[in-house]
């Protein structure tokens, strides 16, 4: 969204109101991601807060040509969440996904756009062959390395790497216009 870019540009100039506007717009989706990865709402809320501090600190280095704001922010939240998992230990990687819903509901317009985007992403993921989908889910949501995925799926390491690369290429082709 061009509004996100405008807000991020203002945030890079130190405007806290712009960061708050980005938070209001994206916090519920980013919190849901952190909860899914961590399985713990309290830790997810801390990750969300840390992530928005990082977004504010790195706003000037954001490159809209590389990714849309939501994708960039999701990467930050995911990486912060995986850092928490690593600190917590490998046992937490299998924690169940929390069924909690975020407290702040997005606006109807944002919700409609988010819902449509989410439908497209889910549909594109569902179209992937099972082995590619599983490898991507293990890498993205559980934060497993290629070696760990190979061990968990009993597949050769090269096969796991190929599945992830092919799956990402298919998703990029299917969702390339989604930013």
Query: Tens digit of pLDDT per residue, the chain (179 long)?
Result: 568 889 988 988 988 898 899 999 899 989 999 998 888 899 999 999 999 999 999 988 888 888 888 889 999 999 999 888 888 764 444 444 433 434 444 555 555 555 677 788 888 888 999 999 999 888 887 778 888 899 999 999 999 999 999 998 898 888 877 65
pTM over 0.85: no
Q: What is the pLDDT of residue 96?
A: 41
DSSP state of 47: H
For domain 107-179, give the fold. Arc Repressor Mutant, subunit A (1.10.10)
Contact 11, 55 (CB under 8 A): yes
For residue 56, CA distances in Å to 7, 110, 133 come to 10, 21, 33
Q: What is the pLDDT of residue 88?
A: 76
Q: What is the pLDDT of residue 30?
A: 93
For residue 167, CA distances in Å to 55, 60, 70, 84, 119 come to 28, 31, 20, 26, 18
Burial class (CB in 10 A: 0-12, 13-18, 19+), 160: buried
Residues with Cβ within 8 Å of 98's Cβ and at least 6 positions away in sequence, in order, are 35, 36, 39, 40, 41
Q: Where in the chain is the domain with CATH 1.10.10.10?
A: 107-179
Q: What is the pLDDT of residue 179?
A: 57
Q: Where in the chain is the domain with CATH 1.10.1740.10?
A: 1-91
Tokens representing 160? 């796991």
The class level of CATH for 1-91 reads mainly alpha
């Amino acid at each position: 969204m061009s509004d996100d870019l405008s807000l991020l540009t203002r945030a890079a100039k130190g405007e806290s109101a712009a960061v708050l506007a980005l938070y209001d717009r994206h916090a519920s989706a980013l919190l849901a991601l952190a909860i899914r990865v961590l399985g713990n709402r309290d830790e997810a809320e801390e990750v969300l807060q840390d992530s928005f501090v990082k977004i504010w600190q790195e706003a000037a280095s954001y490159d809209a040509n590389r990714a849309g704001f939501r994708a960039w922010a999701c990467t930050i939240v995911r990486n912060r969440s995986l850092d928490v998992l690593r600190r917590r230990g490998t046992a937490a990687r299998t924690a169940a996904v929390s069924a909690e819903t975020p407290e702040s509901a997005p606006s109807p317009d944002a919700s409609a756009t988010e819902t449509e985007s989410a439908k497209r992403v889910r549909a594109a993921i569902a179209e992937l062959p099972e082995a590619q989908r599983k490898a991507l889910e293990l890498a993205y949501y559980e934060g497993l390395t290629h070696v760990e995925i190979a061990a968990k799926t009993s597949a050769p390491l090269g096969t796991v790497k190929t599945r992830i690369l092919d799956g990402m290429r298919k998703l990029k082709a299917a969702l390339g216009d989604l930013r």
